[in-house]
Amino acid sequence: MEKIKAFRNDAYAKVTGIAKYTDDYAMPQMLHAVPVHAPVASANLIAIDASKALQQPGVIAVFSAKDIPGNVKFGQIIKDYPTLVLDRIKSTGDVLALIVAENREQAIAALPFVHIEIEELPAVFDPEIAMLPETPLLHPEHGSNVCNYHCVRTGDVETGEKESDLVIEQNFQTSRVEHAYLEPESALCHLRPDGVMEVLGSMQHPFSTRRFVSSTLGLQLNDVEVKTVPMGGGFGGKDDTAALVCARAALCAYLLKKPVKLTYTREWSMRESYKRHPYTIQYRMGLKNSGKIQFVKVRMVADGGAYCSVTPWVTWRSTVQCCGCYEVPNVHCDVYGVYTNNVFSGAFRGFGSPQVNFSIEQLVEIAAAKLGITESEFRRINMVHQDSVTITGQKLNTHTVSLKQAMDTVLKKADYEAKLPNCSFGKPDSDEWYGIGYAISYRGMSLGAEGTDFNSAIINIQPDGSVLLETGIHENGQGSESAMILILAESLGIPKELIRYRFPSTSNIPDGGTTVASRGTILGGGATVKAAEIVKERICEGVEASLGIKNCQYIDGKVIDVVGHEVADYFTAIKLCYANQIYPYAFGVFQAPRVSWDEHTGHGNAYFTWVYGCQAVELKVNPKSGQITLLNMIAAHDMGKAVNPAMLAGQYYGGMTMGAGYGLYEDMPLESGTPKPTNYHNYRVLRSTDMPEMTAIFIENSDPNSPSGAKGIGEPTLELMAPAIANALYRATGKRFTSLPLAPNVQDFAKGQQK
């Protein structure tokens, strides 16, 4: 793509190093806390003896669950996660106590002196075993080790099977993945003179942090104020754990009446923080010889780990998208989220769709090959199109269904058909194996029927015409602030340099939900447009009051009278507003269109709009070592409207890179429930030297359900590269690889070929 000038309102501070992250802040008399983690994955906690730790230099206090004045447990959906364990250990990520000392080094040095007495219990690490009736329950009060269950029942699968000419079955396994954000969890809390607990922290949702802190301390919500600061990466990973870190720091600050900072080491972060859910997926698909899918039967089991977190929401998306972006008349889908004693699973960029796409986008190619038709023809026969009805009964008629457009665009750019004959399919006596592959998807935008979807924005125009903007969307490093500024600049017809984005505080703006699900631009941008519409009316009122006229319109930075004459430019209009005490201030709310869902049948309008996309990859494989080299990656997605093109391209590149890492290398192996990698030295993520040429193609079909016309792109760009790589590897090696990560499997295959 052509070079586009980038805009980031926070770029200067970050590239010059003057941006302050949580751990950069300090306060007078500040103390430091560190966590005491559980030694085993399943046990009764008998006693904590901190007497020797309290004798160590600089140690001020050691706190346990018995010191918590409010609630010990809480969670996003089910309140099953302890801030500090009171009686039952369920994971080695559990925190049993907090050591507070004058400095961090002293607190860490005291860790070995906290004596923990436990009664070890049997642990369960396999979700299939956890589901058996004879397996002990992790949460007896829940009544089952099945945290949640979702289903889809459409048509009649038995009839679909009878009408099928071909039935195929295939199992898939996906991996547990670390978020790998650069900045570990960090919080700084202090009790203000007015009695308010003030929290600074690295988090994705200040309002859930406020709820966690107020619940722990037994305070009202208005007695806790969470202020956001720049965040060093999240990708979905700084919600539950980050909020708990804040709650623990706040507990220490509340009890000691002094500022307390709690910053995690990489080891603590990787031990405790939630991961991407590993899935076991079993597919059965029936087809006509014509290529038309007749039925899909699928069973998915997601390892939720020791606590619920957002497993019901993650697995719900997997349920809705279980058949990929295809028309299927008969569907039987069962999805289970299961408690185990493993480190818990939670939100991660993609949120239940990468696991499904990895599987279904290989399954359709397996089906096409068995039917003797091309994978592209098969997709065109079955893909959703304008006015299609999804497997949940939703008619796609409120926006442009651009799936075919995205696929055709990528295949043309990749010169796919011309390169197919070059694929090696494991050809013997070859110096390298070449392969090309692609995958397609649709993704429901925002929270959908799993939650209430709205956001708000505040516009406050100053007397000199400069503007303060604030929304309920949190800046995670992805550039949402910059997008909001550009949306407002376009709405008001003013230079973006006039607008300053304010970091939101939980005391200044309503809770608009967490910044996840690629909802930042569509929800925050929608609220910004709504607020801009109100403030434009206020500006017209100010001009009308001054000039004694009526029915003015604000258009592109000017106030126009009924006959189309300009009566005031932007700056003059603002002066007239203030002269008449009609303040150009607005609070706007964007409420996403209502959606519906029947939990018993898995039917309803799951999402109010969808994003369509396609990604392709070329690669080569060393036949002797199995080493994989990426040669080229291409992506096309319909984001509705490109608000900030250069930053949008960055989302493409980052998404493709993360998707390739998910496909090739990333895996978090556990030992007795504990993550074995403790830092990025022994956890493999893609490096700059692994990266090939990347091409980002924008497809813009403005969405009528979005006030700004834009949708979102953060997650769609991640969810396709893993299946595209898997399909390319098949054409390179001649073998299907159905478990993640792919690289170790390819290496084992290549070594086996040498014998």
| Cβ atoms 139, 339 nearer than 8 A | yes
Residue 126 lies in a domain: no
Is residue 645 domain-shared with residue 701, that is, in the same domain? yes
- Per-residue pLDDT at 518 exceeds 60: no
| Cβ atoms 138, 344 nearer than 8 A | no
CA dist 69 to 59, 60, 63, 74, 260, Å? Answer: 22, 19, 12, 14, 17
| Cβ atoms 646, 6 nearer than 8 A | yes
Residue 674 lies in a domain: yes
Is residue 672 domain-shared with residue 560, that is, in the same domain? no
The 10s digit of each residue's pLDDT in 169-187 is: 999 999 999 999 999 999 9
Residue 381 lies in a domain: yes
Output the pLDDT for position 228: 85
Radius of gyration of the chain (CA): 27
Range 662-691 average pLDDT: 94
Longest dimension (CA), the chain: 92
Kindly state the tokens that stand for 133. Answer: 């009736």
- Per-residue pLDDT at 56 exceeds 60: yes
What single-letter DSSP state applies at residue 62?
E
User: How far is Cα 584 from Cα 601, in angstroms, rounded to an integer?
Assistant: 49
Q: Which amino acid is at 109?
A: A
Burial 354-379 (b: 16+ CB within 10 A, else e): bbbbbbbbbbbbbbbeebeeebbebb
Output the pLDDT for position 515: 54
CB atoms within 10 A of CB 223: 17
DSSP 668-680: --EETTEES--ST
- Per-residue pLDDT at 516 exceeds 70: no
- The closest alpha carbon to 457, from 540, 554, 530, 535, belongs to 530
| Cβ atoms 382, 290 nearer than 8 A | no
Domain CATH code at residue 191: 3.90.1170.50
Output the pLDDT for position 504: 78
pLDDT exceeding 90 applies to what percent of the chain?
81
Range 432-452 average pLDDT: 87
Q: Which amino acid is at 323?
A: C
Output the pLDDT for position 747: 93
- Per-residue pLDDT at 520 exceeds 70: no
Strands 499-501 and 467-471: parallel
Is residue 406 domain-shared with residue 476, that is, in the same domain? no
Band the pLDDT of 472: cuts 50, 70, 90: confident
Is residue 675 domain-shared with residue 729, that is, in the same domain? yes
Count of domains forming the chain: 3
Is residue 431 domain-shared with residue 558, that is, in the same domain? no
Output the pLDDT for position 517: 44
| Non-local CB neighbours of 560 within 8 Å, separated by 6+ positions | 552, 553, 554, 566, 567
Q: Dihedral angle at the C-alpha atoms of 415, 419, 425, 430, nearest 10 degrees?
A: -130
- The closest alpha carbon to 100, from 38, 41, 30, 204, belongs to 30
Range 498-513 average pLDDT: 83
| Cβ atoms 472, 524 nearer than 8 A | yes
| Cβ atoms 39, 734 nearer than 8 A | no
User: How far is Cα 651 from Cα 656, in angstroms, rounded to an integer?
Assistant: 8
Instruction: Compute the C-alpha angle 351/355/357, nearest 5°.
Output: 100
Q: Which amino acid is at 549?
A: I
- Picking from 591, 626, 658, the residue at the C-terminal end of a domain is 591
| Cβ atoms 498, 571 nearer than 8 A | no
Output the pLDDT for position 409: 98
Q: Can you give 335-352 as a three-state secondary structure string?
A: EEEEECCCCCECCCCCCC
Residue showing tokens 């999804």: 390
Residue 135 lies in a domain: no
Output the pLDDT for position 4: 55
Residue 620 lies in a domain: yes
DSSP 303-338: EEETS-TTHHHHHHHHHHTTTTTB--S-EEEEEEEE
C-alpha 136, offset from chain centre: 32
Is residue 358 domain-shared with residue 458, that is, in the same domain? no
| Cβ atoms 355, 303 nearer than 8 A | no
Band the pLDDT of 511: cuts 50, 70, 90: confident
- The closest alpha carbon to 470, from 497, 488, 451, belongs to 488
Range 672-687 average pLDDT: 92
| Cβ atoms 275, 345 nearer than 8 A | yes
The Cβ-side half-sphere exposure at 76, using a 13 Å CA radius, reads: 24
Strands 628-638 and 693-699: parallel
DSSP 462-483: -TTS-EEEEES----SSSHHHH
Range of the domain at 241: 23-121+185-263
Output the pLDDT for position 587: 92
- Residue 604: left (phi > 0), alpha (psi -120 to 50), or beta? left
Q: Dihedral angle at the C-alpha atoms of 232, 518, 720, 183, nearest 10 degrees?
A: 10
- The closest alpha carbon to 300, from 75, 159, 146, 136, belongs to 146
- Picking from 228, 263, 298, the residue at the C-terminal end of a domain is 263
Backbone phi and psi for residue 240, each to the nearest 5 degrees, phi listed first: -55, -60
Which is more confident, 52 or 445? 52
Considering only 72-76, 310-314, 498-502, 642-646, which range has the smallest mean pLDDT?
A: 642-646
Band the pLDDT of 105: cuts 50, 70, 90: very high
Domain CATH code at residue 693: 3.30.365.10
Is residue 659 domain-shared with residue 679, that is, in the same domain? yes
Q: Dihedral angle at the C-alpha atoms of 649, 653, 656, 661, nearest 10 degrees?
A: -160
| Cβ atoms 384, 390 nearer than 8 A | yes
Range 555-570 average pLDDT: 95
Which is more confident, 617 or 11? 617
Instruction: Compute the C-alpha angle 323/324/329, nearest 5°.
Output: 40
| Cβ atoms 32, 100 nearer than 8 A | yes
Is residue 398 domain-shared with residue 430, that is, in the same domain? yes
Q: Which amino acid is at 502?
A: R
- Per-residue pLDDT at 275 exceeds 80: yes
Is residue 611 domain-shared with residue 725, that is, in the same domain? yes
Is residue 616 domain-shared with residue 688, that is, in the same domain? yes
| Cβ atoms 52, 115 nearer than 8 A | yes
Residue 171 lies in a domain: no
| Cβ atoms 640, 702 nearer than 8 A | yes
Range 130-148 average pLDDT: 98
C-alpha 574, offset from chain centre: 40
What single-letter DSSP state applies at residue 185?
P
- Per-residue pLDDT at 100 exceeds 60: yes
Is residue 230 domain-shared with residue 336, that is, in the same domain? no
C-alpha 134, offset from chain centre: 35
- Picking from 575, 591, 607, the residue at the C-terminal end of a domain is 591
Output the pLDDT for position 371: 98
Band the pLDDT of 482: cuts 50, 70, 90: confident
Output the pLDDT for position 519: 58
Range 254-282 average pLDDT: 98
Residue 89 lies in a domain: yes
Band the pLDDT of 2: cuts 50, 70, 90: very low
Backbone phi and psi for residue 236, each to the nearest 5 degrees, phi listed first: 95, -10
Q: Which amino acid is at 553?
A: Q
Output the pLDDT for position 713: 86
3-state secondary structure of 176: coil
User: How far is Cα 601 from Cα 154, in angstroms, rounded to an integer?
Assistant: 8
Band the pLDDT of 633: cuts 50, 70, 90: very high
Residue showing tokens 């400069």: 466
Helix (H) or strand (E) holding 305: strand 293-305
CB atoms within 10 A of CB 510: 15
Mean pLDDT of the chain: 94
Is residue 576 domain-shared with residue 472, that is, in the same domain? yes
The answer to whether the Cα torsion of 409, 413, 414, 418 is positive or negative is positive
Backbone phi and psi for residue 688, each to the nearest 5 degrees, phi listed first: -60, -30
Burial 244-264 (b: 16+ CB within 10 A, else e): bbbbbbbbbbbbbebbbbbbb
Residue 151 lies in a domain: no
Range 241-248 average pLDDT: 96
Output the pLDDT for position 705: 82
Output the pLDDT for position 426: 93
Burial 20-40 (b: 16+ CB within 10 A, else e): ebbbeeeeeebbbbbbbbbeb
